Amino acid sequence: MPRKKKDTEVNSNSLKARLTDNSAPDMKPVDQPITEMLEINYMPYAMSVIVSRAIPEIDGFKPSHRKLLYTMYKMGLLTGNRTKSANVVGQTMKLNPHGDQAIYDTMVRLTRGNGALLHPYVDSKGNFGKQYSRDMQCAAPRYTEVRLEKLCEELFKGIDKDAVDMVDNYDGTLKEPVLLPATFPSVLVNANQGIAVGMASNICSFNLKEVCDATIAYLKDKECDLLEYMPAPDFSGGGQILYDRDQMQSIYETGKGSIVVRSKYTVDKKNNLIEITEIPYSTSSDAIIDNIADVVKQGKAKEINDIRDETDLDGLKITIDCKRGTDHEALMTKLFRFTKLQDTFSCNFNILINGNPRVLGVREIIEEWLNWRRGCLSRELTYDLNKKKDRLHLLEGLEKILLDIDKAIKIIRNTELEEDVVPNLMKGFGIDKIQAEYVAEIKLRNINKQYIINRIADREKLEKDIADIEDILSKPRRIDKMIADALADVSKKYGQERRSELVMHETVKHFEPAQIIQDYRVHLMLTREGYLKKVTMNVLKKTEDLKLKDGDEIVQDIEAENRSEILFFSDRCNVYKAKTYDFQDHKSNDFGSFLSSELEMEEGEKVVFMHVTTDYKGKILIGFKNGKAALFPVSAYETKQNRKKLINGYSDKSEAVSFLWIADEEDPDLVARSDLKKAVVFKSSLIPFKTTRTTQGVQLLVSKKGSSLIEIAPLSEVGITDPEYYRIRKIPAIGYYIKEDSFENRQIKLFDDI
């Protein structure tokens, strides 16, 4: 049922008197608790803004909108000709005394000419500005003309049949509706924004036809999937909605979330132009042009020669003049990332329900609207029922007159005083005062059998109508059927095609930072002390001596691209991901970037291995101290989210002693050795391939007398003179004692150090 306005005024005279009364010289100021002060002075103001200004109600309107539209309705602008906007503004001030400019601004947003609403309520003539441009201002109200759109018929149906409560205006001289008895969920059909005290509301617009279809489906089945009928919002400015069903489902359920909207554009390859014709609802063409100009100044869009606003009477158009050889699609992907050509609409479906603000999901909004609409329809039917019963009551009295018309004429003729006519008719025919008044008012020319018989013939129809209305009021299903029929009629009359195109989020190309990063060859050097030295090929050619910290040494040296990614493996089984271009180019006398700080590593954590990749192809082989080895794909570290730290990067069951990268198509010979001076040579394919990075691997060397694996290395780098002596063809293996002359001098020294 429609709510009644609550009196939010608080009498604070007594408090003010206590605070300001200084008449007594010995009277001290009274300490006022801040909580009491807020309750008395601030809360009424806050509630007034929330209830009476900023937050829309279930009929889809704020008070300012409602007062304006109702004034135009009473002025006859639903069917008449247009009138000057200034006339409407002046008349609206009888209900809304907040100033003519505020009223006119409210009207402008409701007009077809402004384009802010998906389904405008005001038919306009003249310049009303444009929602998509802050520089295109509307003309003064004396120059423009307005009337109500035909759609407004659905807003006022039943308003003259007590469908909603009517209350006094601010000075008690006029009546105005508390809500408008809209026959469709207008709260969802048009966008509505408002900022109150401590809360706000931001409701996006939905397609009228889709809203009506969804509401009808909900009437039939409350568990229906609303996304099948109204898959997403529909904005007056069009554009492309990057559609994510799960995200949209969350918005429908909670009433909160963000919708990503992109501009629509066409490419004129002949003239090397990009023409933008639709932009997100939440931005303006002026803001977009400023954004693009800033991007060009920053050197992020060197492909652009010029940008200009070519908006005219045909609609919005922003033209970008490109340089020769420009990849237009790549340029637009970049502009979507850095400008308002792609923007988000933040949903906050905060609505007043019976005077209380509530954030509702779409399903809850439809349910609340249906409950309210049922109340309006019941009141309208009750009004019709009472009118028909009153009419039937009069006809019942007229029927008694039919029995003896001459007697009625004789009674009236023989009555001396006029005030005695009604009492005499009541006494003569046994009818009540209302019936007698009706008979007495019949014109002399109508006192004939034909007239009376025709009136009485209406009685049967009235009795059927009354029975039907009473049946409807007793059966909620019939009321729901009337609501559904009205929704279907509205959809048929005023429905229009969707303006905002739905594009699946995963099919859209997104900007990658690497697109604006210069690519070139670099050398990456990892040192034992945890420094990463990144030098260009030119620096490497110019110097033979690279400065390192005292006592430090290079443990890995990899040639890479500036756009590649680096995986850093730490001694605590974490893997850190970074882009090569995240690190600055170093000079020959620089120590390098300290990885512990750059990667925000844990205290005492060290990098033990790094791998550079551009495509996450290949395999990682890890040797563990307990003699096991694990082989799994590099793609196990590829993630859709841009996470910088992957915990559980590899197994923590034993300490890792060696890391190797192996190409997918290769099966190299490897050498493993233990601290017992034993070694084996084996093919990498001997280690079973696993898909998870946390695999513990398989036993490669059997642990004897507490022995440990100390290294796995490529055979080509070790330099064994008799590799077949150490060859194994199955695992686990005990290993072979190392011959003194089997390894080159470099490796012999390494073994001697054990």
Displacement of CA 265 from its chain's centroid (Å): 22
Query: Which neighbouring-strand residues pair with 348?
Result: 202, 256
Using the 3D structure, point to which of 463, 492, 521 is the last residue of a domain.
492
Give domain status of residue 97, yes or no.
Answer: yes
Q: For the domain that residue 314 is a member of, what is the CATH number? A: 3.30.1360.40
Q: Are strands 645-646 and 628-633 parallel, antiparallel or unpaired?
A: unpaired
The one catalytic residue in 42, 143, 520, 737 is 143
Three-state secondary-structure class, residue 98: coil
Task: Give dist(CA 358, CA 350) in Å, integer.
Answer: 5
The pLDDT tens digits for 385-400 are 999 999 999 888 888 8
Q: What is the CATH number of the domain that holds 163?
A: 3.90.199.10
Place of tokens 């700080």: 597
pLDDT (0 to 100) of residue 20: 44
- Cα 503 → chain centroid: 15
Q: What is the pLDDT, as a whole number, of residue 136?
A: 86
Q: Is the pLDDT of residue 305 over 70?
A: yes
Burial of 21 (0-12, 13-18, 19+ CB in 10 A): exposed
Phi then psi for 379, rounded to 5 degrees?
Answer: -65, -40
Same domain, 477 and 330: no
- The answer to whether residue 713 is domain-embedded is no
Between 508-522, 669-683, 699-713, the lowest mean confidence (pLDDT) is in 508-522
**In this structure, how many other beta carbons lie within 10 angstroms of the beta carbon of residue 664?**
9
Residue 65: domain span: 13-180
pLDDT the model gives residue 280:
95
Interior CA angle at 384 toward 380 and 385, to 5°?
115
Separation of alpha carbons 426 and 336, rounded Å:
83
362-402 and 405-414 helices, crossing angle to 10°: 80
Residues constituting the chain: 754
Residue 231 above 70 pLDDT?
yes
- Cα–Cα distance, 58 to 56 (Å, whole number): 7
What are the distances in angstroms from CA 426 to CA 66, 196, 405, 416, 477?
47, 61, 14, 16, 43
Residue written as token pair 């209302």: 434
Q: How, if at all, do strands 501-504 and 240-243 pair?
A: parallel
Residue 626 lies in a domain: no
- DSSP letter, residue 226: G
Answer yes or no: do 43 and 154 share one domain: yes
Asked whether 295 and 333 are in contact (CB, 8 A), the reply is: no
8 Å CB contact between 575 and 569: yes
84, 135, 622 from 127: Cα distances, Å: 13, 13, 72
Has residue 18 got a pLDDT over 70?
no
Return phi, psi of residue 319, to 5°: -110, 130
- For residue 633, the cross-strand partners are 619
- Give the tens place of pLDDT for each residue, 263-292: 999 999 899 999 999 999 999 999 999 999
Please confirm whether the linkage preceding 732 is cis (ω < 30° from 0): yes
The reply to whether 273 and 154 lie within a common domain is no
Q: What token pair was written down for 154?
A: 């659905």
Half-sphere exposure of 129 (CA within 13 A, CB side): 21
Residue 716 lies in a domain: no
Catalytic residue list contains 725: no
> For 308-327, how does the pLDDT look when each residue is reduced to its tens digit (9 = 90+)?
999 888 889 999 999 988 88
pLDDT for 448-507, tens place per residue? 777 777 777 778 889 899 999 999 999 999 999 999 999 999 999 999 999 999 999 888
Q: Using alpha carbons only, how large is the chain's radius of gyration in Å? A: 41
Q: Are residues 62 and 172 in the same domain?
A: yes
- Separation between Cα atoms, residue 241 and residue 460, nearest integer Å: 57
Flag whether 105 is in a domain: yes
Q: At what angle do helices 85-92 and 100-110 cross, to 10 degrees?
A: 120
Q: Is the pLDDT of residue 517 over 90?
A: no
Average pLDDT over residues 700-705: 84
Angstrom distance (rounded) from CA 596 to CA 237? 49
Residue 381 has pLDDT above 80, yes or no: yes
Q: Are residues 394 and 323 in the same domain?
A: no
Residue 385 lies in a domain: yes
- Identify the pLDDT of residue 29: 65
> Does some domain include residue 292?
yes
- The beta strand positions in 149-196, using DSSP E, are 166-168, 175-177, 192-195
pLDDT higher at 650 or 750: 650
- Do 30 and 162 sit in the same domain of this protein? yes
Q: State if pTM tops 0.75.
A: no
* Same domain flag for 33 and 81: yes
User: Cα-flanking dihedrals φ and ψ of residue 720, to 5°?
Assistant: -90, 130
Mean pLDDT of the residues in the chain: 88
Both 331 and 452 in one domain: the answer is no
pLDDT value for 319: 95
Residue 301 within a domain: yes
Domain count, the chain: 3
The predicted pLDDT at position 230 comes to 95
In this prediction, residue 412 carries a pLDDT of: 87
- In sequence order, the β-bridge partners of residue 533 are 525
Closest CA to 145 of 95, 77, 98: 77
DSSP notation for 478-518: HHHHHHHHHHHHHHHHH-----SEEEEGGGS----GGGGS-
Q: Average pLDDT in the 113-121 region?
A: 94
397 and 293 in one domain?
A: no
- A 10 A CB-CB count for 548 gives 18
Other C-beta atoms lying within 10 Å of the C-beta of residue 45: 12
Bridge partners, 737 (sequence order) = 678
Q: Mean of the pLDDT values across residues 27-31? A: 65
Q: What is the pLDDT of residue 485?
A: 96
Collapsing DSSP states into helix, strand and coil, what is residue 165? coil
Contact 522, 536 (CB under 8 A): yes
pLDDT at 753 over 80: no
Tell which of 180, 209, 240 closes a domain: 180
Residue 401: give its domain's CATH number: 1.10.268.10
What's the per-residue H, E or C state across 228-262? Answer: HCCCCCCCCCCCEEEECHHHHHHHHHHCEEEEEEE
Identify the domain boundary among 180, 208, 225: 180
SS3 667: coil
Residues 329 and 396 in one domain: no
- CA distances (Å), origin 190, targets 65, 85, 118, 680, 696: 12, 22, 6, 75, 59
How is residue 432 written in tokens?
Answer: 């009540």
Tell me: the pLDDT tens digits for 173-209? 999 999 999 999 999 999 998 888 888 999 999 999 9
User: If DSSP states are collapsed to H, E and C, what string results for 642-659?
Assistant: CCCEECCCCCCCCCEEEE
Q: Which two tokens stand for residue 28?
A: 């001290």
CA proximity to 692, closest of 643, 642, 650: 650
Q: Is there a single domain that holds both residue 154 and residue 85?
A: yes
| Same-domain status, 171 and 28 | yes
pLDDT at 3 (0 to 100): 43
Widest CA span of the chain, in angstroms?
Answer: 151
